[in-house]
Chains A and B, each alone.
Chain A
Amino acid sequence: MTGPESKKASSPGVMNWFRSAYRFSTDRNDFRRNLLVNLGLFVAGVWVARNLSDFDLMSPQPVA
């Protein structure tokens, strides 16, 4: 009987963690949150620049 009880005890902890993570990620006034989110956006921007920008604008158009 300890199994379901331990699961119930851990799930509120997990839920609390999810709630605090959600509050942290959506709090626009938090400097640390903004710093981490923008850092992630910067890394994503660098990845896009390195991997998705190699298209040739002057290449001839495909004939239908």
Chain B
Amino acid sequence: MKSCIFTGDVTYKDPCRLRLCQSLLRNLYSGKWVELVRHHVSFDFFYGGIQFNFRQHRPLKITTMGGVLAASSPNPPPPVTSGAAPAPGLTVPPGFGMPPVSPVIPSTGADPGQQQEARTHLPNPGAFDECHRKCKEVFPIQMEGVRLTVNKGLSNHFQVNHTLMLSTMDDSSYRFGTTYVGSKQMGPAEFFPVMVGDMDNSGSLNAQIIHQISSRIRSKFAFQTQQQKFVNWQGDAEFRGEDFTATVTFGNPDVLVGSGIIVSHYLQSITPSLALGGELVYHRRPGEEGAVMSLVGKYTGSNYIATLTMGSAGAHASYYHKANDQLQVGVEYEASARMQDTSVSFGYLLDVPKANLQFKGSIDSNWVVGANLEKKLLPLPLSLVLCSFLNHRKNKFQCGFSVTIG
């Protein structure tokens, strides 16, 4: 029986207008895709599949790498950055978190101590799971069938949503979801605790609780059930230091059986642009235990991010480039030594806010071509998503259609 580990981070923005995007999860037990749902609350959910099969927009792929699995929020809210404002003349797009770069200190009239302090100040590098996120957000999400989502905000703290999914490949289903946002404010638009849950017509539950314990420590608990049986349960704690981030995740701990998974992440800023880190996954069950380690490096430029993750299971490289306000490009390279497979993907994102339109396209080395078109039908509270994927090698075509109300 396979199990999944989810590592994620939630940034909640703007409690007055809620727009939640819940990332696409793959239920390994039933083989169904759990929904990409549009709610009323703005969220970014980032799930990392650790050592298991977890590809958000490429279900054909299997990777055993420590996971970075970006949520597909078509318009992700900008994360609250702890650093300084971007440098003059530099356009920072929404959702593009720039590490603050130390300003050039003039050579005359400046205190040497202040100069030294300015040079040595390093920004927080962000979460480990966010290293590949910017690139992954450029790629379209594979969707199949028809989906209708209705969001209803009952108050500034609570909202519900109904999702109806009609599919030709899988069973059709209905999901009911709720979101609660607390009143403990930790940032300009960050409120905690956050509780998100949804249940489908068969009784399977997905739930998450995120709480900011202190200004530097954030905790998260996630549960997943298959009807009445708990299949995934995990808790993690993230500590954000001045120039580093450390996270520990406990997955499916079972004291009676003596099994469980521990995932630890560490990411350290070396320079204002360069961050290095590592991940250690330790798994144990009766008669078996093992550990997998991988290293990550992230370099952030003026308008690009290059990230490389390498481990015993393989390598994952991504390059994100923001050409201008309308166009973002992403290139991804994955190599799995265990599966003896490599792939390259090229994707782009066209954002035309004047037309309330966003288009994503991708092509990869397996001859899979995909596209997503999202259009907000203002002034109506409607959002339309069209998606199609074509696998030329296997002669398979998949298309999806989604309407979100509210």
Q: Residue B365 at the A interface, CB < 8 A?
A: yes
**Complex contact A56–B324 (CB within 8 A):** yes
Task: Produce 1/0 per residue, A33-64, CB < 8 A to B.
Answer: 01101110110011011100111111000000
**Complex contact A41–B321 (CB within 8 A):** no
**Complex contact A41–B323 (CB within 8 A):** no
Q: Residue B317 at the A interface, CB < 8 A?
A: yes
Q: How far is the CA of A52 from the CA of B265 in the complex (A)?
A: 36
Residues of B within 8 Å of A39, CB to CB, are 333, 342
Using known A-B contacts A31-B340, A35-B342, A57-B352, determine if residue A42 contacts B326 with beta carbons closer than 8 Å. Answer: no
**Complex contact A45–B342 (CB within 8 A):** no
Q: Residue B335 at the A interface, CB < 8 A?
A: yes
Q: How far is the CA of A55 from the CA of B276 in the complex (A)?
A: 33
Binding-face segment, B21-29, B61-69, B343-351: B343-351
**Complex contact B343–A53 (CB within 8 A):** no
**Complex contact B323–A38 (CB within 8 A):** no
Q: Main SS of the interface on chain B?
A: strand
Q: How far is the CA of A58 from the CA of B365 in the complex (A)?
A: 31
Q: How far is the CA of A49 from the CA of B135 in the complex (A)?
A: 12
Q: Residue B341 at the A interface, CB < 8 A?
A: yes
Using known A-B contacts A45-B319, A45-B331, determine if residue A57 contacts B365 with beta carbons closer than 8 Å. Answer: no
The range of chain B's interface size is: 20 to 34
**Complex contact B350–A49 (CB within 8 A):** no
**Complex contact B327–A53 (CB within 8 A):** yes
Q: How far is the CA of A18 from the CA of B377 in the complex (A)?
A: 58
Using known A-B contacts A35-B335, A39-B333, A42-B317, determine if residue A53 contacts B323 with beta carbons closer than 8 Å. Answer: yes
Q: Which residue of A lies closest to B321 (CB)?
A: A49
Q: Which residue of A lies closest to B322 (CB)?
A: A53
**Complex contact A38–B331 (CB within 8 A):** no
**Complex contact B321–A57 (CB within 8 A):** no
Residues of A within 8 Å of B319, CB to CB, are 42, 45-46, 49
Q: By the criterion of a CB under 8 Å from any partner CB, how many residues of chain A are at the interface?
A: 19
Task: Produce 1/0 per residue, B298-324, CB < 8 A to A.
Answer: 000000100000000000010101011
Residues of A within 8 Å of B352, CB to CB, are 57-58
**Complex contact A42–B324 (CB within 8 A):** no
Shortest CB-to-CB span from A48 to chain B, Å, is 8
Residues of B within 8 Å of A46, CB to CB, are 319, 321, 331
Q: Residue B37 at the A interface, CB < 8 A?
A: no
Q: Which residue of A lies closest to B334 (CB)?
A: A38
Q: How far is the CA of A39 from the CA of B342 in the complex (A)?
A: 9
Residues of B within 8 Å of A31, CB to CB, are 340-342
**Complex contact A38–B342 (CB within 8 A):** yes
Q: How far is the CA of A50 from the CA of B327 in the complex (A)?
A: 12
Q: Which among A45, A50, A56, A58 is the interface contact of B344 at CB below 8 angstroms?
A: A45
The 9 closest A-B pairs by CB, nearest first: A45-B331, A53-B323, A42-B333, A49-B329, A49-B321, A41-B344, A38-B344, A38-B342, A57-B326
User: What are 29 A-B pairs at a CB distance below 8 A?
Assistant: A31-B341, A34-B342, A35-B335, A35-B342, A38-B333, A38-B342, A38-B344, A39-B333, A42-B331, A42-B332, A42-B333, A45-B331, A45-B344, A48-B346, A49-B304, A49-B319, A49-B321, A49-B329, A50-B304, A53-B321, A53-B323, A53-B348, A54-B324, A55-B323, A56-B324, A57-B326, A57-B350, A58-B326, A58-B354
